[in-house]
Amino acid sequence: MNNSNNKQKKVSHLKDKYDRRIDYLRISITDKCNLKCIYCSPEKALKHFNTNEILTDEEIIRFLRVAHGHGLSKVRITGGEPLLRKNITGLITTIRKTGIRDLSLTTNGLMLGSLARKLKDAGLKRVNISLDTLDADRYEGITRGGNIALVWKAIKASESAGLTPVKINVVPIRGLNDDEIESFASLTYDNNFHIRFIEFMPAVGDGMWASDKYVKSDQVLKKISALGKLEPFKFRGNGPSRNFRLKGAKGVIGIISPLSDHFCKHCNRLRLTANGRLRPCLFSKETIDIKTPMRNGISDEQLEELFLQSVNAKPRGHGLQDKHIKSGLIPAMSEIGG
């Protein structure tokens, strides 16, 4: 009884040194992907981890139990393409058993059509589906071979399975898809989608990055405002997204501005890479290995220490505004789990 009281006390006080409450983990469960989006990963084959380098289900669960004891309440599964992982539904079921209630997943959707119902039954709450164009040929070009029909099938299947609201991630890139911002926003009139416009970040993707290709959130909002009145919209668990609704629309528009806004002051998250390294910030050079110590037999208390160490190592901000924007110095998102 006393023990659980102590745990409760710890739970409500897990803050980093900048007084941000840390309760959210994004786990990359594979570094492999079945697409090679031109802005996300290079065309040449990336070197992938060997199976034995990837955290096992048991290792993920062990870490989550420890972190949940410190108030971690929200988990997003990502990758690579997370649906490529064997027994993904089994992993979801076991994660839910740790007590993590808010469990979501980011996917390109290609395999989601037939998995949506099973994932929902396993305990998944929501999905974010990446879709950067509404045009089939353009989709094939951006993704280097993807079939947009599968993504629409996935969106419909997610809605009927109750993986809602379906969130659609769009990265507007000048000259590539920025002429579709209004079309994406218009989808919210008749559909309860959350369309999330994410600023293009300077990650390696075959030299795609250039500062003039990045469309600032303000410019996205300006284009959308031409469609109708945009009203601020608040809902629980906003995270770094600023949310709006077009007057009369069913869905929501989310604006995520890692470059143009100081969104780091609201950052509540850590990342765990597929090979078992805790990354305090998406752009951290410093990561903390939990896989090797777990395989060498550390105790739960020692694992807890590594978790707290990564919370303490969170920088005040990602610093992207300064040095990286011009040159594009960070690894491909597919490697670090965007």
CB of 233 to ligand SAM, least distance (A): 21
CB–CB of 243/224 below 8 Å? no
> Residue 191 contacts by C-beta under 8 Å, 6 or more apart in sequence?
250, 251
At position 132, the amino acid (one-letter code) is D
* Site for ligand SAM, residues 118 to 137, rule: CB under 6 A: 130
Residue tagged 């629409």 (tokens): 152
Q: Which of 30, 78, 177, 310 binds ligand SAM (CB under 6 A)?
A: 78
**Residue 79 touches ligand SAM, criterion: CB under 6 A:** yes
Cβ nearer to ligand SAM, comparing 96 with 213? 213
CB of 130 to ligand SAM, least distance (A): 4
Number of residues that bind ligand SAM (CB under 6 A): 19
Q: Which of 30, 98, 108, 133 binds ligand SAM (CB under 6 A)?
A: 108
**Residue 106 touches ligand SAM, criterion: CB under 6 A:** yes
Q: Which of 14, 22, 40, 64 binds ligand SAM (CB under 6 A)?
A: 40
CB of 240 to ligand SAM, least distance (A): 12
**Residue 63 touches ligand SAM, criterion: CB under 6 A:** no
CA distance 155 to 127: 9
* Segment (H or E) for 102: strand 102-107
Q: Which of 184, 193, 200, 307 binds ligand SAM (CB under 6 A)?
A: 200
**What mask of x and - would describe binding to ligand SAM in positions 263 to 302, judged by CB under 6 A?**
----------------------------------------
- Residue 161: phi and psi, rounded to 5, are -80, -10
Q: Which of 104, 107, 186, 287 binds ligand SAM (CB under 6 A)?
A: 107
Reference 217, options 230, 235, 204; nearest CA is: 230
Residue tagged 């950052």 (tokens): 267
* Site for ligand SAM, residues 152 to 171, rule: CB under 6 A: 169, 171
Q: Which residue is nearest to ligand SAM (CB)?
A: 338
Stretch that binds ligand SAM, among 57-65, 73-81, 113-121, 317-325 (CB under 6 A): 73-81
Cβ nearer to ligand SAM, comparing 129 with 246? 129
CA distance 334 to 338: 7
112 in the Ramachandran plot: left (φ > 0), alpha (ψ -120 to 50) or beta? Answer: alpha
Cβ nearer to ligand SAM, comparing 204 with 303? 204
Length of the chain: 338
Label each residue of 55-81 as H, E or C.
CCHHHHHHHHHHHHCCCCCEEEEECCC
Other Cβ atoms less than 10 A from the Cβ of 282: the count is 19
> Residue 234 contacts by C-beta under 8 Å, 6 or more apart in sequence?
243
The answer, yes or no, to whether the previous bond of 165 is cis (omega within 30 of 0) is yes
Cβ nearer to ligand SAM, comparing 69 with 205? 205
Residues in contact with ligand SAM by CB under 6 A are 33, 39-40, 78-79, 81, 106-108, 130, 169, 171, 198, 200-201, 203, 333-334, 338
